Amino acid sequence: MDVLSLIPQFGNLLWTIVAFVIALSVIVAVHEYGHYIVGRWSGIHAEVFSIGFGPVLWSRVDKRGTRWQIALLPFGGYVKFLGDANAASGKDEKAMEGIATQSPEELRRTMHGAPLWARAATVAAGPVFNFVMSILVFGLIFWSQGVSKEPLTVGSLQPLPGTVQELREGDVITAIAGIPTPDYDEEGAWQDFIEALPVEPVLDYTVIRDGETLDVQAPWMFPPLIRQVAPRSAAMDIQLKQGDVITAVNGEPIFAFEQLKDFVEGSDGRVLLLNVWRDGSELEFALAPRRTDEPQPDGGFVTHWRIGIIGGMMLEPATEPAGILDSLTGGVRQTVRIIEGSLSGMWHMVTGAISTCNISGPIGIAETSGAMASQGAQNFIFFIAVLSTAVGLLNLFPIPALDGGHLVFYAYEAIAGKPPSDGALRVLMGVGITLILTLMLFSVSNDLFC
């Protein structure tokens, strides 16, 4: 065996592990800090704030008596409050008996002796902080990207092989093929505009350049240009890259992304031979499309053949600064879309409408982390925000040992006037931990065999 040939593979594995640890650590830190800070504000004392489990690599005790630590296994974290027996906030009955004999004030500082409102707020704060983080990150990305100028203005042009390109940066496009360009904020108008355009390799563009109206020629608006490669996809497996242009499929030349889509969807999973233009060089690839369950605006799912690439326009629109409020509103919408899509996906898996292979485990998440990190900082940060929303949502499920399970117990206490018995809680927590471990094993099997 050539040992040197393993170096790139080892480098990719190391990159994947590092990206996964960073992504998970950020999300866990935000989640657990939500528990910690709201608990502190509510008068509940935190004994330990841990990122990771297992042997402690680093720790320090602050002036409030909380030990902050980083542990060896970076697969989660926890806050252990006074009176907790473990990371899942089970009651330490012996410790609670001892604290109860000290003073009412000391009992009030425990998780299990605090008022119901304080306990509920502390538990709910973890998922809430995950959602807030997602909203802020999405909002910051939207703000940094800005909003496209009206009317459509050329910011930059993508390099394309062997085609007429008479557009210039700064051109204001008022019409294409004689059809006026609509405003972006007109609902459905842009899609109607694209569908009305003749699908031809070169079109006439009417532009305003330096105050003068001109007719110039340029390529079809949506060429088979790769803007992004989806993680764990057929395209990523054969190392297609952002900026690649697919010029032919099975020897047949193409110039529009829709032509590529037609080939893929009509393949029935058969291998496709691709001619790809990359930085002036012609390359050849072969790949087999994969069945993919895609969410729809109405909440349903449709299964298509896909190779895992995202296209876009042959130009980057010029932008102008976005408002803070509009950016945050966009962040809220994006977070809500992820929540709705996740819930819809789980429902469709339960009903058998889509495959349970859509559930990814730690291996799949690690692979996706590495893939997104390799495509740039913004893509990686966007992925962290998506994962943060998913973690917040998962923790709200009414499963004992998760935050949602604790909130169900508190709801019972509010209605019944007393908490469930310690014996019942022990049984329910055991059931919850079993369910979580079963889900983890199932997700890992998906990573390995789906």
Residues annotated catalytic, as ranges: 32
Q: How many CA atoms lie within 13 A of 16 on its CB side?
A: 16
Sequence-distant contacts of 214-218: CB under 8 A, at least 24 apart: 216/166, 216/167, 216/171, 217/164, 217/166, 218/164, 218/165, 218/166, 218/167, 218/314
Sequence-distant contacts of 436-442: CB under 8 A, at least 24 apart: 436/399, 436/401, 436/402, 440/361, 440/362, 442/356, 442/359, 442/361
Segment (H or E) for 245: strand 245-249
Tell me the CA distances in angstroms from 334 to 16, 137, 274, 417, one per residue in order.
Answer: 26, 10, 34, 39
Amino acid letter for position 205: Y
Measured CA to CA, the distance from residue 47 to residue 82 in angstroms comes to 6
224, 169, 178: which is closest to 198 by C-alpha? 178
Measured CA to CA, the distance from residue 344 to residue 295 in angstroms comes to 8
Which letter does DSSP use for residue 83 in this model?
Answer: T
The burial of 140, by beta-carbon neighbours within 10 Å (0-12 exposed, 13-18 middle, 19 or more buried), is given as middle
Backbone angles phi, psi at 313, to 5 degrees: -75, 160
Can you give the C-alpha Rg of the chain in angstroms?
A: 27
Measured CA to CA, the distance from residue 382 to residue 385 in angstroms comes to 5
Segment (H or E) for 265: helix 257-265
Count how many residues are written for the chain: 450
Which residue intervals of 146-250 are DSSP H helices? 189-196, 234-237
**Contact (CB, 8 A) for 245 and 160:** yes
Beta pairing, strands 212-219 & 202-209: antiparallel
The Cβ of residue 322 has, within 10 Å, a number of other Cβ atoms equal to 16
Backbone angles phi, psi at 285, to 5 degrees: -135, 160
